[in-house]
Amino acid sequence: MKLSTSKRNLGMGLVIYGICFLLCWVNSTPAAMITNMHSMRITEGDIPTWTAGDSWTYTINPLSFSSPNGSFDGSIDNFKQTVSGKSDDTYTISIFGDISGYVDVNGIQGELTGILTGESQVRVSDLAQLSSELHSSGEIMYMWIPFDYSMDLFMSSSPALEVYDFPLQIEEWQLSGITTIAGSFSIEGIITQSFEGSQWIDETVECVTQEQLSVPAGTFDCYKIGRETALSWFSTQVGNMVKTTVDQSDENMTVHLVATLQTYTRVSQPLTVTMDLSPSVVIPGASVVLSGDAVVASSGDPVQNGAILIEIPSVGWSWTITTDSQGQYTMAFVAPTITDDTACGREIGSSGVLVTCDSGSLSGYRVQTLTTIQDTAPETPSIQGPTEGKPKISYDYTIITIDPENDPVMYYIDWGDDTNSSWVGPYESNENVTLSHTFAKKGSYTVKVQSQDIYGAVSDWGSLQVTMPSAASVFLTQWFSHFPFIYHLLQQLLGN
């Protein structure tokens, strides 16, 4: 059976384009719309490390679209995303689902049933979406006659759509990039249509709060994220989206879907790798210490002399070191300038640091985010306290500084006698901090103090001149201060 009118073909084409639009949402929302959670960066909200075999299964119901030309109402059951592999800095995500629904186009009505398959490429270091392809095939029942349909949909983003800005904290940030869509749709004997287009994405995303949410997969602490037409709940325990709702309506189109997590699986790696970046939020050029360990997951034994590959893919940096006899590793490096497409507030950019351990046939890896920020150094600290005193007696000295961004600060005091306080703190900006010191010998000392905020910006030196005369000198000085006429008499006699 053929439909001869171009009006019906056009109407069907627009509805199919709407279905494809829905599927774009379906593919992107389980791994999208995430921002940050705490004003102080924390590892609890950091980037999840995905492993081959990790999977998330959703029910997408309802899945609906309507326009003046027609509508689609249906669902996708068993919509499963599985990490099928990892190559360099890219995860491959396989997609499968069962799609069904009711199509109504210009009086043409029928049940649609089919399957949805596909694959996505996602960056390991920040879960930015590189590209996706979706394929669907099945039947549309019209007038009790089944018609085969097929659909191919290809999407890519330039630059890669960095929909996450780890680690998570409450804030607003900008999501931007160009997404290109191309594909085709055909119904046997009725319509064959190709389509392509691009969309510039430029919108503000807001992480609203953290709240507990119950879904069939369980009850989870989630980060609630809002966009103009969508809400999403993300769980670091799950490592992905727990629920997403989309409601978009204007004079041309209405879209509505709800995706809910049914089950999920997180797979253990053969080697368990831990990782710590200290600090994890820094100014470019600051020193960062990376440390951790590697153990065999099955036995808990430390990996001795394991090969450790450390990478910062966004800047192309890499190093190779080995674990020690306890399975531990450590390395210091200078923080690079990291830039990305999700800048917000003081952030310059963020990117995952990837640590991979190989030992024989076993391997494991871990990802953690390093963030570089714009930062202003604290003001030159002041130091107040006794400028004269006796050796071997402890004296209190008070130091204070103000940080322009009100960041907590640390202090380093060089006492001028070949000793120092090392870095102490952190303390609040504009907080009086008292430290004690004992000078062992008489002499004159230049006490210097420097401050540094928690992100690594260092102030100029403040100083104080301190004199520690002998005990006799202190006594005479104090005695003459009480009897100044004797001091002047001695001056006259000595002058003669």
Q: Is residue 479 part of a domain?
A: no
Q: What is the CATH number of the domain that holds 310?
A: 2.60.40.1930
**What is the C-alpha separation between 381 and 12, in angstroms, rounded?**
72
Q: Is residue 478 part of a domain?
A: no
Q: Is residue 246 part of a domain?
A: yes
* pLDDT bucket at 482, cuts 50 / 70 / 90: low
Residues 161 and 304 in one domain: no
Residue type, 59: T
Packed helices 484-495 and 471-482: angle between N→C axes, nearest 10 degrees: 110
Residues 355 and 389 in one domain: no
Rg (CA), the chain: 33
Question: What integer pLDDT is reported at residue 122 of this predicted model?
Answer: 94
Q: Which of 265, 299, 330 is the last residue of a domain?
A: 265
Residues 446 and 304 in one domain: no
Q: How many domains does the chain have?
A: 3
Residues 108 and 42 in one domain: yes
Burial class (CB in 10 A: 0-12, 13-18, 19+), 301: exposed
Phi, psi of 19 (to 5 degrees): -60, -40
pLDDT tens per residue across span 364-390: 999 999 999 999 999 999 999 999 999
pLDDT tens per residue across span 183-242: 888 888 877 888 888 888 888 888 778 899 999 999 999 988 888 888 889 898 999 999
How many angstroms separate the first and last alpha carbons of the chain?
A: 133
**What is the C-alpha separation between 65 and 328, in angstroms, rounded?**
54
> How many percent of the chain have pLDDT more than 90?
58
* pLDDT bucket at 15, cuts 50 / 70 / 90: very low
Higher local confidence (pLDDT), 187 or 75: 75
Residues 394 and 358 in one domain: no
Q: Which of 373, 408, 437 is the last residue of a domain?
A: 373
Answer whether 281's CB lies under 8 Å from 371's CB. yes
Domain residue limits at 320 = 271-373
Q: Which of 373, 395, 420 is the last residue of a domain?
A: 373
Residues 227 and 280 in one domain: no
Question: What integer pLDDT is reported at residue 199 of this predicted model?
Answer: 82
Q: What is the CATH number of the domain that holds 450?
A: 2.60.40.10
pLDDT tens per residue across span 91-107: 999 999 999 999 887 66
C-alpha of 35 from chain center: 7
Residues 343 and 399 in one domain: no
Query: Which three-class secondary structure state does DSSP give residue 285?
Result: coil
* pLDDT bucket at 470, cuts 50 / 70 / 90: low
Q: Is residue 21 part of a domain?
A: yes
pLDDT tops 50 at residue 29: no
pLDDT tens per residue across span 289-323: 999 999 999 999 999 999 999 999 999 999 999 99
DSSP characters over 292-355: EEEEETTT--B-TT-EEEEEETTTTEEEEEE--TTSEEEEEEEPP----S---TTEEEEEEEEE
